Structure 1
C-alpha cells in the first residue's frame, strides 16, 4: 500500500515538475496577476540572464521524469533538491502564499530520499 501511495505522489509531483519545466521553454502559462512586485523583478532578471531559466527547466523536466519511474526515483529526488531549495527560498522570502504547495512537494521528495536512503550510502561511505 505504501508503495502505491508513493508512486501516485511521485507521479503527480513528477508531472508538476515536467509541466513547470516545459513552461520555461514554451511559455504557455501566464504569470499570476497577484505576484509580488519584487518576485516579478527577480523573474525578469532571470529572463535577462538567459541561461538560468533553461537550466532550471531542464532540471525540472529531467528530475520529474526520473521521479516517476521507481528505478530512477532516487536520482530524480537528488536532481530536484536544488530546484526545490530555490522554490522554498523564493516562497519564504517573497511569496508566502505559495509556501503550502512548496512544503508538500518538499515533503514528497524528502520521503523519496528517506525511502531510498540505502542507494545513497555508497556515495557517502569511505
Structure 2
C-alpha cells in the first residue's frame, strides 16, 4: 500500500514539475493577471538573467522525469530540491498566495527524500 501511495504522489509531483519546466520553454500557461508588484520585479530580474529560466526549466523536466520512476527517484529528488527551495523562498518572502499549493509539494518532496534516505548515506558517510 505504501508503495502505491508513494508512486501516485511521485507521479503527480513529477508531472507537475515536467509541466512547469516545459512551460518555461513554450509559455503555454498564462501568468496571473494580478500579481503583486514585488513578485513582478523579482520575475523581471529572473528574466534579465538569460540562462537562469532555461536552467531551472531543464532541472524541473529532468527531475520530474526521474522522480516518476522508483529506481531514479532519489536522484530526481536531489535535482528538484534546489528548485523547490527557490519556490518556497519566493512564496514566503515575495508573495504568500502560492503557499497552499507549495506546501503539499514540499511535503511530498521531503517524503521522497526520507523514503530514499538509505541511498543518500554513501554521500555523507566517510
Classify the TM-score, shorter chain.
over 0.9
Q: TM-score, normalised by structure 2?
A: 0.97
Unaligned runs of 5+ in 2: none
Deviation, structure 1 residue 109: 0.7
Inter-partner Cα distance in structure 1 for 2:6 and 2:40: 34
Look up the match of 1:65. 65
CA deviations over 1:31-83 (Å, ceiling 9, x no partner): 10122111111111111210000000000000000000000000111111100
**Count of matched residue positions in the alignment of Structure 1 and Structure 2:** 126
Could you list the runs of 5+ residues in structure 1 that have no partner in the other structure? none
List structure 1 runs of 4+ shifted beyond 3 angstroms: none
Q: Deviations over 1:70-110 (max 9, x none)?
A: 00000111111100000000000111110121111111011
Name the TM-score, length of structure 1 as normaliser: 0.97
Counterpart residue number, 1:92? 92
